Chains A and B, each alone.
Chain A
Amino acid sequence: MDNLSLNLLIFSPIAASLLFFIPIFRDNEVIIRRFAKTFAGLHFAYAMCFCVFFNSDVSYFDELFLFGQSGIQSLGIRTAFAMDGLSLVMVVLSSFLFFMATIASKTVIRKRHKLYYGLLLALETAVIGVFTSADIFMFFLFWELELIPMYFLISLWGSGNSQKSAMKFLLYTFMGSLFLLIGILLLNYYSDTLNQQMTSLFADINVVDKLPVNIQILISILLMIGFFVKLPIVPLHTWLPNAHCDAPAPISILLAGLLLKMGAYGFIKFNILLLPDAFKIIAPVLIILAVINIIHAGLCAYNQKDIKKIIAYSSISNMGIVMLGLCTNNEQGAVGGIFHMVSHGLICAGLFMIVGIIYGRTKTRDINAISGLASVMPNLAILSVLFSFAAVGVPLLMGFVSEFLTFWGAFNAQYETVIYIPLVVLCALSVLILSTAYMFKFLHKTFFGIIDDSWSILKDISAHEFIILTSIMGVIIFFGIHPMSLVDIIKPFVDIMIESAGI
């Protein structure tokens, strides 16, 4: 439907967050929380409207004329936003996870509520802005914009070494964005349309025919460094365990569920859609990097003493599967990769929520200190078992569909000069065993067995935590049983993607 406004979707959260700081707004914690929750719920409902009325023929396009009618003429920058299949899926996921995180913040946040919810909503604008930007400079603007609320959210309300982890996260991502900026500037410089004017709309950048492959590879590598810090790909991933561990639980949900997907989203939009020749050449190397991701993170997760770090490393491993899916040259792998983005977002959200509940009750994250919680928290145990199954890839839950498609597509990947891909993918299949090992070690050590006396007084999960976990699980089961509903939205986009990648 053309009546739905993208500008409203993107900028309403930050407008709501600014409302918090009007002096009239009372400083009552309950009112702030309820306002934030209601707003997030309404925003999610609005995003679902986009979903309901989505038609693969029509792609939304909306423009916020910040710099005047035709943008910055000399550089061709326009503040334009668009939404296609992939963006829609990501925006709905973001909306949903922000809603869940807002509800989950009730028990975790104890001080400075106004600032917290204000920053959370500002973060929502930034994240949705990244996913819907139609202009590469807008993309970069929102990419940088999300770092500011995130830094404050981690360092002010986090635990442990949160200031240091937040600083590490910020500086690491900034370093990557530096390369990203250079790449974007180069892209803008080399963009030529028919009327010989620089443009920076995604739709209009046409570099395939004009650029020699060397320059494409150069730009591609520069952009990849930026995205690989976020994705994260193995040499550049060390910010992630610290940031995830020390962030409060709702922020971990958002960090793992959304910010990592931003890296993958940027990778698709820039490297695959805009620079396909370079992508075809580099892709075999990327497949090896993705498999290293999967295996290395899977191995690292096993011996961790901190339960949150186990889930953090499992995030890295799963994003390796996403990367593997995206680097294959066929529709099945790409659909599998994008499906896994959604499924990992949801599963990871649930797992971090569970770990957050455990930490909130037992005040410790040491895996050797907690045991036998299933005796006092049976509902949480049931949900944890379900989420562990989802993380491992048991059928009838979302993880299986995406992993199967990804591995099938990866095995089917065809690059002319490369014959080792099947062997490498076979190594990647060991993720089934690796993920079972660490996931079930975590599950059994924390939940099963004999309970320690100090934990016998814990209470089971409360109603609203239960609602969050059950709704996330419900979505996972729904898409596990009926994956075609999601695949139908992703597939037109993937068809265009593979076609433009030119196999």
Chain B
Amino acid sequence: MANLIFNITLYHYLILALLLFAIGLAGVILSKNILKVLISAEFLLSAVNINFVAFAFFADNVNLTGFIFSIFTVAVGAVELAVAVAIFYLMYKNKKSVDINEYKELKG
């Protein structure tokens, strides 16, 4: 038990990432507000980032791929967020509602 608390292994990071991913997933699937969906998607991104860095850090040989990839992910995530907020704002202007049940044009 003490081993688990005081020695941080790879698995602690993986479980952290898993929990974060689960929170993000729950937020994406279960939210009624579209902005909440967007923010929860960011959780997903950060969970994936933690995973990449954890694997890169705990590898036997020095492996820089994970770190570089996580930087890319962060950049892309920021851009995507900006674009998504812009799109949602335009759609909000049409619908006047942030309830995700109004955004059902592709039904059928």
Whether A and B touch directly in their complex, counting CB atoms under 8 A apart, is answered as no
